Amino acid sequence: MKKRIEISAILANPQLDTEVTVMGWVRAFRNNRFIALNDGSTQNNLQIVADNEQFAEELLRKISFHACIAVTGQLTASLGSGQAVEIQASHIEILGECNPESYPLQPKRQTMEFLRSKAHFRPRTSTFSAVFRIRHAIAFAIHKYYNDRGFYYLHSPIITGSDAEGAGEMFRVTTLDVENLPRTEAGEIDWKEDFFGRSANLTVSGQLQAEIGALALGKVYTFGPTFRAENSNTPRHLAEFWMIEPEMAFCDIYGNMDLAEDFCKYLIRYVLDNCYDDVAALDARLKEEEKSLPADKRRPMGLEEQLRFVLDNDFERITYTDAIRILQNSKPYKKGQFEFPVEWGKDLQAEHERFLVEKEFKKPVIVRNYPKVFKAFYMRLNDPEPGVPGDTVAAMDVLFPGIGEVIGGSQREERYDVLRSRIHDMGIHEEELWWYLELRKFGGAPHAGFGLGFERMVQFITGMSNIRDVIPFPRTPKSAEF
């Protein structure tokens, strides 16, 4: 096959009056002469000029929407508006035909719901190619950020016997014959007969294993898929998603918050510096989409403006007790407009989080020191505080506009007796976490960490309204098609 040049390379450094070969998918074919070609390397198309007298009519008929073609020709300055350079085609080869009569996608605006059902074709659209290029850039930036700061990348297991959250919403992994399950004398499933000799699940978090790494290597991070068997059909939830979980020895809740804020800003800055064309295209798409909405339903800022606003402002830091006081003094609370109750001891819901971020402070907010009653067993118990009506733990959530929680973390409970007591209080069998307790018993240390939901961060940076549109193949209740 003839060596091609990527369109991104041509547009970045055009070598005029040279012969080049490009390959890609047809985005548009106007007047039987002008081809808009895209190979996925950039948001921008490259214009191909095909002299219809030079090419057979049969070949030109095959240059249809999303057909795949190879073009060789002279790269010249463009005389038309909309592009700086174009290729005067001397040879066109059809690499893959695309019959417009039967092809599911059409050269017009398609709904997000429809494109989700065609996940094998949606990366060819300008919107999704931009989203997935940005997704790649964020993933790369994550590894660069932690590598440059002396963290070690720890591969945590996908199959585990631990439920890090204690919530029980896990996918079970088994090789047992579900039609003929082995039973104990008591009639219960005999997991000793299973592959691992015990009950096993897909991981909900790599955190507990990351703590092992941190308490030996000092600073580690995990970045991998996690799974929640939670029957949530919302724009914010997936059954399979990716998590970044740094864990640091000799760190408290305040150092944890500092890292979380710096990390978020680094990712946003990296995308703006390296994917500006994609951000600009998604920004323009959002503005066009919101033209039909009433003024009060539109975003207060454009996408790029919002990203730069986050970079330019310190995150607000408040306690959970502060948050409850602010919410109870708010107009929506006094007018009974919140769907969920606002009272100390109840978890904050998305509507409460968004009020704090979008109405009260108008920027990202970090909430810390939550009541222990609805937080995980591993979070460090705080000393009693004046004016706080119950026990709290050194937990934190980072809340973003439009998304709500993007990061959840805590200082971990390093005191053996306190952790053991919390495990018992929450009804968790001590023998399931014997190794976790031993980390405190032998050479334990203060440590902290958090988990960032990768798709939620991608969702924020791309401005997509549904989390299913920032992962190539979303896994949700009743949906595992691809």
Q: Where are the domains of the chain?
A: 7-108, 126-169+204-469
Q: What's the rounded Cα separation, in Å, for the pair 370 and 344?
A: 9
Output the tens digit of pLDDT for each of the chain's 482 residues: 889 999 999 999 999 999 999 999 999 999 999 999 999 999 999 999 999 889 999 999 999 999 999 999 999 999 888 899 999 999 999 999 999 999 999 998 899 999 999 999 999 999 999 999 999 999 999 999 999 999 999 999 999 987 666 555 899 999 999 999 999 999 999 999 999 999 899 999 999 999 999 999 999 999 999 999 988 888 888 999 999 999 999 999 999 999 999 999 999 999 999 999 999 999 999 999 888 888 878 888 899 999 999 999 999 999 999 999 999 999 999 999 999 999 999 999 999 999 999 999 999 999 999 999 999 999 999 999 898 999 999 999 999 988 889 999 999 999 999 999 999 998 888 888 999 999 999 999 999 999 999 999 999 999 999 999 999 999 998 888 88
Q: What's the rounded Cα separation, in Å, for the pair 63 and 75?
A: 20
Nearest CA-CA partner of 404 in 472, 349, 478: 349
Sign of CA pseudo-dihedral 91, 19, 4, 12: negative
**Strand 34-38 to strand 19-30: parallel, antiparallel, or no bridges (unpaired)?**
antiparallel
Q: Cα angle vertex 173, ends 170, 174, to 5°?
A: 140
Cβ neighbours of residue 337 closer than 8 Å, sequence gap 6 or more: 331
User: CB atoms < 10 A from the CB of 164, how many?
Assistant: 25
Nearest CA-CA partner of 313 in 366, 353, 270: 366
Contact 449, 412 (CB under 8 A): yes
pLDDT of res. 295: 82
Nearest CA-CA partner of 198 in 180, 174, 181: 174
Long-range (24+ apart) CB contacts under 8 A made by 28-37 are 28/65, 28/107, 29/63, 29/64, 29/65, 32/60, 35/63, 35/69, 35/71, 35/89, 37/7, 37/69, 37/71
Nearest CA-CA partner of 330 in 346, 350, 349, 352: 352
**DSSP code, position 467:** G
Contact 398, 363 (CB under 8 A): no
Strand-pairing partners, residue 223, are: 244
Do 7-108 and 126-169+204-469 agree at the fold level? Answer: no
Superfamily holding 126-169+204-469: Bira Bifunctional Protein; Domain 2 (3.30.930.10)
Nearest CA-CA partner of 236 in 403, 469, 351, 452: 403
Superfamily holding 7-108: Nucleic acid-binding proteins (2.40.50.140)
